[in-house]
Amino acid sequence: MIRFAAGLALMVLTLIIGTWQWFDQASQYQAKKAGLEDAVAKREEGLDLNLRIKKVRAQSMASGDDQKFTIERLLDIGAPGMEWRFVGQPRITGGTRTLYRHTFRIVGPSTFAKSQELMRRLVTLPGFVPYRFCYACGLAPKGTPSDQRMVQIEGYLYVYDPSTLY
């Protein structure tokens, strides 16, 4: 009878310990599964972020190149013809200067063909987004050749910090 009672007690104890271990293993399994899903999501988010950074770098101008004289040389404009101007302060995205946007205006006398060539350059260069083009929208200064009219181009220049976005 004692063997039967000891065997029964051993079976109950085994059942209790086995049930406890089964629930413990199930909770560990769920925790590891959630951890794996989180790691995969972070990896995909990191890959997505890398793709977004590559797109930003391809579609923006590097910081430091956004100087007036550098841009005028890049666009082949400047006095006495068309002139580049920054309008206001740059609009900073977020708390850092990782990505920001200048508003620009190009004003001056030009022929229609040269102004269209300038627009083509603006559209093809990274960072430039012109949103307004006006040909013959004002009076040209005295002494301007008769084939030239006043041109005004406005737009945005997107700039990124290469030391932050690498």
Taking the CA atoms of 26, 27, 31 and 37 in sequence, report the sign of the dihedral they define: positive
The C-alpha atoms of residue 114 and residue 147 are separated, in whole angstroms, by 11
Please give the share of the chain, as a percent, with pLDDT higher than 70: 95
pLDDT, residue 43, reads 87
CB proximity list for 106: less than 8 A, separation 6 or greater = 75, 77, 82, 83, 84, 85, 118, 151, 152, 153, 154
pLDDT, residue 160, reads 85
Burial 52-65 (b: 16+ CB within 10 A, else e): eeeebeeebbebee
Q: Work out the number of other CB atoms within 10 angstroms of the CB of residue 106.
A: 24
Please give the share of the chain, as a percent, with pLDDT higher than 90: 20
Asked if the model's pLDDT at residue 95 lies above 70, the reply is no
pLDDT, residue 161, reads 83
Q: Tell me what the pLDDT averaged over the chain comes to.
A: 85
pLDDT, residue 165, reads 67
Average pLDDT of the residues in 33-41? 92
**Distance of alpha carbon 91 from the chain centroid:** 14
pLDDT in tens, 134-158: 998 888 778 777 888 889 999 999 8
Q: Model-level pTM?
A: 0.66
pLDDT, residue 3, reads 81
pLDDT, residue 134, reads 92
Asked if the model's pLDDT at residue 78 lies above 80, the reply is no
pLDDT in tens, 45-68: 888 877 877 887 778 888 887 888
